[in-house]
């Protein structure tokens, strides 16, 4: 198969890039995504605050309805395994492997969360420790709780939003821990999540050690200014310690003129409108220049 434009990722950025390219006149667009529904991370973000105060799934549905009016082909449950310098991608789906040749490639693969292994935390490796995004998916898509007595490491937007979600599900959020002097996420999320639900925010603190086996029983918390440490009992630690643009697929390709990165795989966007707007412009410009 050969297409003018292959887009990897059907999140807000990938769908917006396709809309931009279609409006600019591109009539051969294939969007591939490994998930079963379009929207990417939006699917698990059931809170309001996307675009004109939509929920994440509502925002995804709005983009999807626009895509359906175009002739862009959307293939879900289709993972892109590799990209070659000769402009060929290998796609894997239930139908098997397929090679797709393309003129332009837009990578809209989103970002990944920094895992426990990348942090300087010693001790046991018990159940009850996961990333904030995994906990969000657990609660919002599978109606399961990550735990009962919860500490959250990191006060960015994801940490604060997941803290509120835990409280709304009746869980005790003991505190959000933050190594900086103040919360690092958007002010609107601080007000609506932390302040509004009286969630303690411990600044200039971090977690240095995990305790418990097989389940977490507590963590060692260090005050960064004094160096003092104390044991804090909890059964769950959620890691909201940073999002890393997902560029693995193209890391060996250099910067060929046919390759374009949009959305969170280019740089992490706090607001979906920003990711969508940038992607739409890039989608239209690469076709105009071609």
Ligand X SMILES: Cc1cc2nc3c(=O)[nH]c(=O)nc-3n(C[C@H](O)[C@H](O)[C@H](O)COP(=O)(O)OP(=O)(O)OC[C@H]3O[C@@H](n4cnc5c(N)ncnc54)[C@H](O)[C@@H]3O)c2cc1C
| Residue ranges in contact with ligand X by CB under 6 A | 8-14, 32-35, 40-42, 45, 49-50, 79-80, 108-110, 136, 157-158, 161, 246, 249, 263-264, 269, 271-273, 275
Q: Which is nearer to ligand X, 57 or 126 (CB)?
A: 57
CB of 41 to ligand X, least distance (A): 4
Q: Which is nearer to ligand X, 1 or 271 (CB)?
A: 271
Q: Which is nearer to ligand X, 63 or 221 (CB)?
A: 63
24/13 Cα distance (integer angstroms): 16
Helical H segments across the chain, by residue range: 12-23, 56-68, 132-142, 157-168, 187-189, 272-289
Classify 4 as helix, strand or coil: strand
CB of 54 to ligand X, least distance (A): 9
Q: Which is nearer to ligand X, 41 or 174 (CB)?
A: 41
CB of 17 to ligand X, least distance (A): 9
CB of 114 to ligand X, least distance (A): 13
Q: What is the 3-state secondary structure (H, E, C) of 85-137?
A: CCCEEEEEECCEEEEEEEEEEEECCCEEECCHHHCCCEECCCECEEEHHHHHH
- The helix or strand, by DSSP H or E, that contains position 2, with its residue range, turns out to be strand 2-8
Contact assessment for residue 14 and residue 263, using Cβ atoms and an 8 Å cutoff: yes
**274 CA to centre of own chain:** 15
Q: Which is nearer to ligand X, 273 or 285 (CB)?
A: 273
Question: Directed axis angle between helix 56-68 and helix 272-289, to 10°?
Answer: 20
CB of 169 to ligand X, least distance (A): 16
Q: Which is nearer to ligand X, 177 or 221 (CB)?
A: 177
Question: In Å, how far are 61, 130, 224 from 180, measured between CA atoms?
Answer: 37, 21, 9
* Torsion on CA atoms 274, 277, 283, 287, rounded to nearest 10: -140
For 138, counting Cβ atoms within 10 Å of its Cβ (0-12 exposed, 13-18 middle, 19+ buried), the class is middle
163/238 Cα distance (integer angstroms): 9
Beta partners for residue 102, in sequence order: 3
CB of 272 to ligand X, least distance (A): 4
Q: Which is nearer to ligand X, 204 or 277 (CB)?
A: 277
CB of 66 to ligand X, least distance (A): 15
């Amino acid at each position: 198969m050969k297409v003018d434009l292959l887009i990897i990722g059907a999140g807000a950025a990938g769908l917006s890039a396709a809309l931009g390219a279609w409006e600019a006149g591109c009539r051969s667009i294939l969007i591939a995504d490994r998930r079963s529904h379009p929207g990417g991370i939006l699917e698990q973000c059931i809170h309001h605050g996307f675009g004109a105060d939509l929920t994440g799934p509502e925002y995804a549905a709005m983009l999807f309805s626009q895509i359906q009016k175009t002739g862009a082909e959307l293939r879900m449950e289709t993972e892109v395994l590799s990209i070659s310098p000769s402009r060929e991608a290998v796609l894997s789906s239930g139908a098997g492997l397929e090679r797709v040749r393309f003129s332009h490639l837009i990578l809209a693969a989103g970002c990944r969360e920094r895992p426990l292994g990348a942090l300087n935390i010693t001790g046991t490796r018990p159940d009850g420790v996961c990333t904030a995004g995994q906990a969000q998916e657990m609660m919002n898509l599978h109606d399961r709780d990550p735990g009962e007595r919860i500490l959250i490491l990191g006060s960015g937007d994801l940490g604060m939003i997941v803290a509120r979600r835990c409280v709304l599900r009746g869980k005790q959020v003991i505190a959000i821990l933050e190594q900086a002097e103040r919360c690092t996420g958007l002010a609107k999320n601080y007000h609506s999540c932390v302040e509004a639900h009286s969630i303690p925010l411990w600044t200039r603190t971090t977690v240095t050690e995990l305790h418990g086996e097989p389940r977490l029983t507590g963590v060692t918390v260090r005050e960064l200014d004094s160096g003092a440490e104390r044991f804090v009992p909890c059964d769950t630690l959620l890691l909201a310690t940073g999002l890393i643009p997902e560029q693995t697929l193209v890391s060996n390709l250099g910067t060929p003129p046919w390759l374009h990165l949009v959305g969170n795989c280019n740089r992490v966007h706090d607001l979906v409108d920003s990711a969508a707007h940038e992607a739409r412009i890039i989608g239209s410009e690469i076709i105009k220049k071609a």
